[in-house]
Amino acid sequence: MRIGNFFVIFLVLGLVLGSLNMVMAAEADLKNYNVCIVQDLEVPSGSPVPESAGMQMAEKAVYQIKRYNEKYNLFDTIVKEGGKGGKEIPSGKKLLIIKGEVKEYTHPTVGRRIGRSFIPGGEYTGTAYFAARYKFIDKETGKVIYETDLRTSSTGANDSVDYAMDRNGEALAKTITKLKGK
């Protein structure tokens, strides 16, 4: 009986402390950041990913973040590092840097499309994929405040890696919107 009570107390204590730890490690708060700077994504050397994919994805991310910024007023300024808007960065503002690395770049294939056509509703799923690991960095301290992996696919007739990249940029914008509390 005594061992049973000890086990129950130990279990409850473990659940309480475990849930507190999850709450503390929840998600970053981006509410105080006024400027968002997106860097070109790194492309691993030796991979079949085109070198231009990192720059192209950064441009798509800036476009999607600006789209969401119009609706939710996320940042005062959103620029791509090294882009033409780099001179607009006001001083005295809190800067958020978004950098990343391309993890997957998969072209669509006819074989997958044919295979999916045999599944009811499967012809509407895409066969091209894009995945990246993003890091949100505080410019002032240089600390990584949040990291996330985003993997997206193309859909339906838009079966291209380019469209999967557009969707990845939108997923990034949605993540930022969520972290900003909007």
CATH number for position 96: 3.40.50.10610
Supply the pLDDT for residue 9. 66
User: What is the domain range of residue 116?
Assistant: 32-179
Does the pLDDT value for residue 15 go beyond 80? no
Q: Work out the pLDDT band at 82, boundaries 50, 70, 90.
A: confident
Question: What's the average model confidence in pLDDT over 3-8?
Answer: 63
Examine residue 11 and state whether it is found in any structural domain, yes or no.
Answer: no
Asked, for residue 23, whether it belongs to a domain, the answer is no
The pLDDT of residue 113 is 67
**Three-state helix/strand/coil letters over 134-182:** EEEEECCCCCEEEEEEEEEEEECCECCHHHHHHHHHHHHHHHHHHHCCC
Q: Is residue 143 part of a domain?
A: yes
Which SS3 state, helix, strand or coil, does residue 12 take? Answer: helix
Nearest to 59 by CA among 172, 182, 176, 181: 172
Task: Please give the pLDDT value at position 85.
Answer: 59
- Domain count of the fold of the chain: 1
pLDDT tens by residue, 90-147: 788 999 999 999 999 999 877 766 776 777 766 666 789 999 999 999 999 999 999 9
**pLDDT at 24 (0 to 100):** 38
pLDDT of residue 76: 94
From the CB of residue 57, how many other CB atoms can be counted at a distance below 10 Å? 25
Residue 56 or residue 11, greater confidence: 56
Residue at 25 is within a domain: no
**168-182 average pLDDT score:** 95
Residue 8 resides in a domain: no
For residue 118, being part of any structural domain is answered with: yes
Give me the pLDDT at residue 120, please. Answer: 77
pLDDT at 110: 75
Q: Is residue 3 part of a domain?
A: no
Percent of the chain clearing pLDDT 90 (strictly above)? 60
- 17-54: per-residue pLDDT in tens? 555 443 334 567 899 999 999 999 999 999 999 999 99
Could you tell me if residue 162 is inside a domain?
yes
| pLDDT (average), residues 148-160 | 89
